Structure 1
Amino acid sequence: MSAPTRMLAAAVTAAACLGTTAVPAAAASPSDDAVVSRGVTIPAFYNPPASLPAADGALVRSERLPLALSLPGIDGPLPGRATRLMYKSTDSGGRPVAVTGAYLEPTAAWRGSGPRPLVAVAPGTMGQGDQCAASLGLERPLLLNGQTLSVGYELLAIYRLLARGVAVVVTDYAGLGATDRLHTYVNRVDEAHAVLDAVRAARSLPGTSLTDDSRVALYGYSQGGGATAAAAELQPVYAPDVPLAGTYAGAPPADLVAVTKAIDGSGLAGALGWSVSGFVQSDPELKPIADAHLNAAGKAALKDLSTMCVGDALFSYHGVRSNTWTTDGRSLGDIIESVPALRAFLADQRIGTHRPASPVRIATGTADDLVPHGQARGLAVDWCAKGAAVTYKPVVLLPLGDGLVNHVTPLLADQGEALSWLTDRLDGKPARSDCSTLPWRP
């Protein structure tokens, strides 16, 4: 069994354990303006209106969201009740953007100090097709219809938080789910704003147990780790009304130049296509550069990937090298190094240039060569140099023979400790800083 097959089998098993089954494409007949992505009709809820509210985080609409697993309990359904959200955010170009997501109100009581707290969950890589949105995954964690494969693997962390009595808000990010634009994959500003505005949206949702004094924390791994890391350092300026008790950033892609080189030819090579398409969405001035350097195969791959979920890409683009997509046979990494506009764009995507005002926990697998350990550790060093309070956790594991396995295993190995660290911050307990010992640790 190949590595991607093993990983998908494990993810599918996890989804099945949460009480779901493979489901067909949406049965509703699509209307003339319905968006259909790889046989899946996106609910009309995800179509943004013509105009948006002025305030970032303002609710555009909400509706009940049926969870895939919901059991009767003495105090209410377990693990809780979910609400689908659409809210207003601002993208990296200063433009208004509709973002979707979900709020989950737990049935379990919060047993820490203060009112019920809130954690914003930034999902890991889901793909670029609208059907891959994390909020849709809460309703159907395993989507398998012969055209697409999507697994809602963030459910494990979400349900563990709900069991602790912590409310959760999940963002789909800009352009994932909401059908009016392409998802700007790993754009640090778009993702950070989407995370912080999700907190604002959850706070304004009527009928929740949140109060103005509810502590807030952020949780994310991989793409989600980059999103929460960016949110933590942009929060003091973009969202001073959203003070953070703590942020968990697992395996954050802080340096996209290093990550681009690492994933080229890997099991996650398809993410290169999502990145390029997302960059062009963020900055249309990059489109002529992309057109000039991509050959017919590269352009076809980007179009194909733009509607794929991560499961599809693992099978269809596993091991692909980007030099097969370019007009001159150079890799995308080499082209980035040679084109000033691309270098400048990726330099602006670097996380670690601003100091978070609240405690941050960075965890990274020492054997992770997909989102390289060195650049994630470098983020911790950069923040320490700026005076941030950083808890650094190297997850020391032996290399397991495949980049995807080396990348995902630390998520599972460290998740319990990561959630406990977050819960302590939400309980008002102080965080220690590892900055004094970081230079001598792996």
Structure 2
Amino acid sequence: MTIPAFYTPPADLPAENGALIRTEPLPLALSLPGVDSPLPGRATRIMYRSTDSTGQPVAVTGAYLEPAAPWLGLGPRPLVVLAPGTMGQGDQCSTSLALQRGLVVGADDGQTTISIGYEVLAAYRLLAKGIAVVQTDYPGLGTTDRLHTYVNRVDEGHAVLDAARAARALPGTSITDRSAVGLYGYSQGGGAVASAAELQSGYAPDVRLKATYAGAPPANLTEVTAAIDGTELAGALGWSVSGFLQSEPALQAIADKYLNDSGRAALRDLSTMCVGDAIFGYAGRRSTSWTTTGQPLSDIIRTEPALRAFIDEQRIGARKPTGVVRVATGVHDNLVPHGQARTMAADWCKLGGAVVYDPVSLPATGSPLINHFGPLLADQGPAVDWLAHRLAGLPALSTCALLPLQP
């Protein structure tokens, strides 16, 4: 399907991170007329500058949503950066396009694509509380100049923090320099905001980060890779590998050694897919069919030092986060495994971080995808309420002392 011209970055980017490159009104797929503005708010599509994991400037798209509802808390209206969960790797999968179209269905070059803007649920809950929302598409998701670097810790963390800067720079909003900032994300988004909380002090100390909700974060990619292999979301393995090769071209020699024709074809195929396409096309696939040796990707990570070092650098939990962080993870999540998310929370506690750890107990099912996304829906209301209370100035006590007693 055709990507709007807005998503093609210019040749020259601004010098400052978070600087706006271009904006335009964004019509929302789900909107009602209101007295002063549409309900739940008025949206603006944005493109802003960030810096990728190689230190190079990158254009990132997203959307800012100005609430119609008033902010009833103390101080100026707060801002939440919403980091989307897994959307895919094709440019048509970006969350800002999904906000406009709701359901993206199309066919191009023989490929059918399906993308659902499920993050609208969290965004509209926040807007209803009078909290402004800025959503990032991440580097390469929407923008046509590069591939989306799926679960790249630095790319995503920088994009989240620079989205807050871009929202602050946008004229005609109710956001001020004194607005408190919160971060919200689940799954891929949970990893992105967890990374942003770690990077804020060094990369964006001007962002007034107060609180973060990190749901089901993929903090240890070695464990996540092994867990999703052969599940409904096996296609995410291809997105990870393609993104890593773009960020670190030196890994190409390892890819050439291990990827067979089927593996290379899968990476090309998946690079233009959304999550719905990947579920229909690759559910249940195992990476052993993609390799020359018949090894799964998780084994190759362990046996190749350069790849293992790159993956180890993606680990979240080795740096103290800024502000208080609520870490929520389903105790039966076996897609983005519960254990590695709990370990991230424990590691932050050891570093002196302010952590509220919340294990979510739901019945286990035979579907890893349901075990993963069930807690997203069950915990979303409490997560939004918790974040709103922090932005309103109510304190949250760290529960690190209780964590050893929790599942």
Into which bin does the TM-score normalised by the smaller protein fall?
Answer: over 0.9
Give the match for residue 270 of structure 2. 305
**What is the SS of the residue equivalent to 2:138?**
strand
Pick the aligned partner of 1:431 from 372, 375, 396: 396
Give the match for residue 25 of structure 1. none
| Residue 252 of structure 1: how far off its partner (Å) | 0.2
Give the match for residue 138 of structure 1. 99
The AA in structure 1 aligned to 2:29 is A
**Do the aligned partners of 2:357 and 2:403 also contact (CA within 8 Å) in 1?**
yes
| Residue 428 of structure 1: how far off its partner (Å) | 0.8
Q: Is 1:58–2:19 an aligned residue pair?
A: yes
| Residue 74 of structure 1: how far off its partner (Å) | 2.1
Q: Structure 2: any 5+ residue segments left out of the alignment? A: none
In structure 2, C-alpha distance between the alignment counterparts of 1:61 and 1:231, rounded to whole Å: 24
Q: Is 1:383–2:348 an aligned residue pair?
A: yes
| Residue 243 of structure 1: how far off its partner (Å) | 2.1
In structure 2, C-alpha distance between the alignment counterparts of 1:75 and 1:357, rounded to whole Å: 37
Q: Is 1:109–2:70 an aligned residue pair?
A: yes
| Residue 156 of structure 1: how far off its partner (Å) | 0.3
Give the match for residue 325 of structure 1. 290
**What is the SS of the residue equivalent to 2:230?**
coil
Pick the aligned partner of 2:206 from 241, 256, 276: 241
**Do the aligned partners of 2:179 and 2:208 also contact (CA within 8 Å) in 1?**
no
Pick the aligned partner of 2:85 from 124, 132, 151: 124
In structure 1, C-alpha distance between the alignment counterparts of 2:352 and 2:73, rounded to whole Å: 29
Give the match for residue 296 of structure 1. 261
In structure 1, C-alpha distance between the alignment counterparts of 2:231 and 2:157, rounded to whole Å: 27
Pick the aligned partner of 1:170 from 131, 135, 143: 135
| Residue 145 of structure 1: how far off its partner (Å) | 2.2
The AA in structure 2 aligned to 1:363 is A
In structure 1, C-alpha distance between the alignment counterparts of 2:19 and 2:261, rounded to whole Å: 42
| Residue 144 of structure 1: how far off its partner (Å) | 1.6
| Residue 75 of structure 1: how far off its partner (Å) | 2.8
Equivalent residues in 2 for 1:91-102, closer than 5 Å: 91-102=52-63
In structure 2, C-alpha distance between the alignment counterparts of 1:318 and 1:173, rounded to whole Å: 24
In structure 1, C-alpha distance between the alignment counterparts of 2:47 and 2:245, rounded to whole Å: 24
TM superposition outliers: structure 1 runs of 4+ over 3 Å:
none
The AA in structure 2 aligned to 1:128 is Q
Pick the aligned partner of 1:393 from 358, 368, 373: 358
**What is the SS of the residue equivalent to 1:145?**
strand
The AA in structure 2 aligned to 1:421 is W
TM-score, normalized by length of structure 2?
0.98
In structure 2, C-alpha distance between the alignment counterparts of 1:141 and 1:343, rounded to whole Å: 39
Pick the aligned partner of 1:367 from 307, 316, 332: 332
**What is the SS of the residue equivalent to 2:193?**
helix
In structure 2, C-alpha distance between the alignment counterparts of 1:64 and 1:230, rounded to whole Å: 30
| Deviation per residue, 1:283-340 (Å, 9 max, x gap) | 0111121121100000000000000000000010000000000001111111111000
The AA in structure 1 aligned to 2:24 is E
**What is the SS of the residue equivalent to 2:80?**
strand
The AA in structure 1 aligned to 2:18 is G
Pick the aligned partner of 1:268 from 205, 220, 233: 233
| Residue 245 of structure 1: how far off its partner (Å) | 1.2
The AA in structure 2 aligned to 1:62 is T
The AA in structure 1 aligned to 2:213 is Y
**What is the SS of the residue equivalent to 1:148?**
strand
Q: Is 1:179–2:140 an aligned residue pair?
A: no
In structure 2, C-alpha distance between the alignment counterparts of 1:141 and 1:278, rounded to whole Å: 26
Pick the aligned partner of 1:229 from 194, 201, 206: 194
| Deviation per residue, 1:252-287 (Å, 9 max, x gap) | 000000000000000000000000000001101111
In structure 1, C-alpha distance between the alignment counterparts of 2:391 and 2:194, rounded to whole Å: 18
**Do the aligned partners of 2:30 and 2:102 also contact (CA within 8 Å) in 1?**
no
In structure 2, C-alpha distance between the alignment counterparts of 1:328 and 1:372, rounded to whole Å: 26
**What is the SS of the residue equivalent to 1:334?**
helix
The AA in structure 2 aligned to 1:296 is D
Pick the aligned partner of 2:36 from 72, 75, 79: 75
Q: Structure 1: any 5+ residue segments left out of the alignment? A: 1-39
**Do the aligned partners of 1:235 and 1:243 also contact (CA within 8 Å) in 2?**
no
In structure 1, C-alpha distance between the alignment counterparts of 2:256 and 2:228, rounded to whole Å: 22
| Deviation per residue, 1:362-381 (Å, 9 max, x gap) | 00000000000000000000
| Residue 141 of structure 1: how far off its partner (Å) | 1.3
Give the match for residue 317 of structure 2. 352
| Residue 212 of structure 1: how far off its partner (Å) | 1.1
Q: Cα RMSD (Å) of the superposition?
A: 0.6
